[in-house]
Every structure is written in structure tokens, then in C-alpha cells.
Amino acid sequence: MDFALTAEQQELRGKARTFAETFVAPGALDRDRAGTFPAEAVQAAAGEGYLGLLVPREYGGRGVGNLAQSLLLEEIARADASVHVTISVHNSLVTAPIVRWGSEELKKKHLPRLATGECVGAYALTEPHSGSDAAALSCTAVRDGNDWVLNGSKMWITTGARAQTLLVFARTDPKTPGSRGISAFVVDGSAAGLEPGKKENKLGIRASETVQLFLEDVRVPGEDLLGEEGLGFSYALGTLHGGRIGIATQALGIAQAALDAVIAHFDGKAVPKGSAFATQDVDFRIAEMATGIEAARLLTWRAAWLRDRGDEHASAASMAKLAASRAANDVCHAAVEVMGPKGWRSEGHVERFFRDVRVTEIYEGTTEIQKLVIARSLKAT
């Protein structure tokens, strides 16, 4: 077992930290308050090649792999979780499945524009009546000559209102229930009949736009079917394993930022008089916070490493997300508690971390879904 990062990985991580401190952290609090999409930060990330992390070089990407992506995007999440999730969804949920299952024609058509940031991607699986039970989706796709015509609606779509490329899942065989008969399509965001609903007013990651999508007779060329007809749900699940590593990474970044804030707040000084905590109490909290983060980080790196190797990693990805999201919520809760008024007032960043981290136990599969994946994997062995 080798726990050492390569020189290249360390360099990527260091450059990402400098980038995040320079282009992402400034304005994060203002964007959060106003719910303003971080367009400048995302375009700056595109300029660094951060929107093509999993895209092979022959299609204009950087092709660094999942572990390097996790190292890099943790630094982005540490600065602003809203910027992180925009970039993470684009990479893990849009470019990755096109790389894995797309035809050569589909790859050449979409990957170069996605890798350079000319297009921002969105992933449209969830529907108003099919959340955790994604196989119950009812959006339909019907053949019309060489095209497909899509009808239905999608819910909780990150960057859905401004994405130029969307991965949409629809039922191509309405007679087949459940997960069978679902296909995946790469849809142009400007297609006629595709309309976003209102932007959701959320507890956290407020600068990341989340919308409902309505599809009314949206026409998709036949060559924009991803992979094989009827295998869309298996593609969705395979994609979500990578997405869960991305959300585990997001949780780690938020947790690390909260721990950094606690350490900076006390800065070696004794706890002020009147505090509910003694100096040793705070030290114990810091030790517990750091240990929880590091344990979750190792699980996340392992899941990313397995994915890079092409090994089975569904359970590992769920373990990473389960551990990281739990640890991060605990860390942010503790940060608010030990920092007192400075922790919970809206003028500080810790209150933002506390709100942002909550969703890491909800999207890309709730905590309960992760437990089901892990348990079923264990029972199958």
C-alpha cells in the first residue's frame, strides 16, 4: 500500500489551492447572500482546464483521473462549495459518462466544447415523483424518424437553467417497468421545448443554481443517444458512483475550511473567560474534527483510486460519501458550537459552511441510499 501522492498530484493540488484562494474564495460570501451564480470563477476554472479533468487529451481535456480530480476539487470546495458542485457535476456527471459510453461521433461532437468550458453541463435524472427511486422516472422518449422526442419534467437540476449540454434520462420503452427501458440522451440546452422553472431558494450552496426542467416535444438527433437504447439506468448508476466521490470531496473541502476557521479563531490563545469551553475542551474538539476528516479523506481517495483502476467501487464510493458527509456535518456543527457568536453570525464564513454542508447527506443519493448500497454489496459477497 502506497499512501504517497505523486509529484504531479502534489503539484496539481498546490496549484488548485492557489487558484481557489485567488479566484474562488473572494466574493464567496457575497455570492452566497445574493444567490449569484459564480460565472467568473467557473470561467476562470475553465481557463485552467478544470472543466475537462476527466476528458482525454485527444478531445481537449486534461485526463488527470478521479484521484487527481478529488485532490484538486477539494481545494475548490474549501473556498466555495457552490463553485465546487458546479464544476463537479460538469466533470463527474456529464463528461465522464460521455467518455465512458459515448460513440466516437458523440465524443467528438460534445467533449471538446465541454472540456474548454464553451459548454457547461447538467445531469437530469431526478423527477418530482422519483427522487431516491430514480427508476420510477416517467419522462418519455419516442422515436420520430431518425430523432427522439422527449416529454416530461426533471427536478433539482444543478446548473439546469444555463447548461448548454444536458444528460437527460427518459423512458424509451413505456411498457417495461422499473429500471429497464430507460435510455440516456445528450440534449442541447437551447433545444426548442426545453424550459427551466424557477430557481430554488435553498438553505445552502446558494450560489449554485438549482431548477426544475420542463421538456415539451424536445427533439434530439438519433446520434445523441448515449450508448445503447435501454441501458440508460445502468449508465445513471455507474455515473453516480463517480458523483458520490465528488460529493464526498465537497464535504471534505467544507469540513477542512471549518476546521481551519476554528484553528485560526483560537490561534494558540487560551479560551476567553466566560466561554462554555476550557482550552483543553477546544483542543479535544480540534483533534476529533481532524481525525474524522482524515479518515473520510482516505476513504474518498481509495474510492477514486479504485475508479481510476477500473475496479469495482460502488460500495467504496458510497462508504466515502457516507463517511465524508457525516464527518463534515459533525465538524461544521462543532465549529459553530466552539466559536460561539462568531460561528453562527452571518458575517462569518463558518455559518455558510454549516448551511452548505447539510446537502452533502442528501444529493447524489441520501445517507440512507448509501447504507443500502453498502449493505447490498456486503450481502452479495
Q: Mind telling me the catalytic residues?
A: 364
> Which neighbouring-strand residues pair with 123?
167
**Cell reading at 147:** 430523432
Task: Specify the DSSP element, H or E, that contains 240.
Answer: helix 232-266
- Output the CA torsion 281→287→291→293 (10° steps): 80
DSSP code of residue 33 = H
Whether the Cβ atoms of residue 114 and residue 166 lie closer than 8 Å to each other? no
Q: Is 311 left (phi over 0), alpha (psi -120 to 50) or beta?
A: beta
Alpha-carbon gap, residue 232 to 171, rounded angstroms: 9
Whether the Cβ atoms of residue 312 and residue 302 lie closer than 8 Å to each other? no
Task: Specify the DSSP element, H or E, that contains 40.
Answer: helix 39-47
Among residues 5, 52, 16, the alpha carbon closest in space to that of 256 is found at 16
Longest dimension (CA), the chain: 76
Alpha-carbon gap, residue 342 to 314, rounded angstroms: 40
Alpha-carbon gap, residue 377 to 379, rounded angstroms: 6
Alpha-carbon gap, residue 292 to 287, rounded angstroms: 9
State whether residue 285 is helix, strand or coil.
helix
Among residues 245, 240, 241, 258, the alpha carbon closest in space to that of 328 is found at 258
Q: What are the CA-CA distances from residue 30 to residues 26, 86, 90, 170, 359 (Å)?
A: 9, 17, 23, 38, 20
Alpha-carbon gap, residue 362 to 240, rounded angstroms: 13
Place of cell 454542508: 357
Among residues 372, 322, 360, 268, the alpha carbon closest in space to that of 82 is found at 360
Whether the Cβ atoms of residue 232 and residue 59 lie closer than 8 Å to each other? no
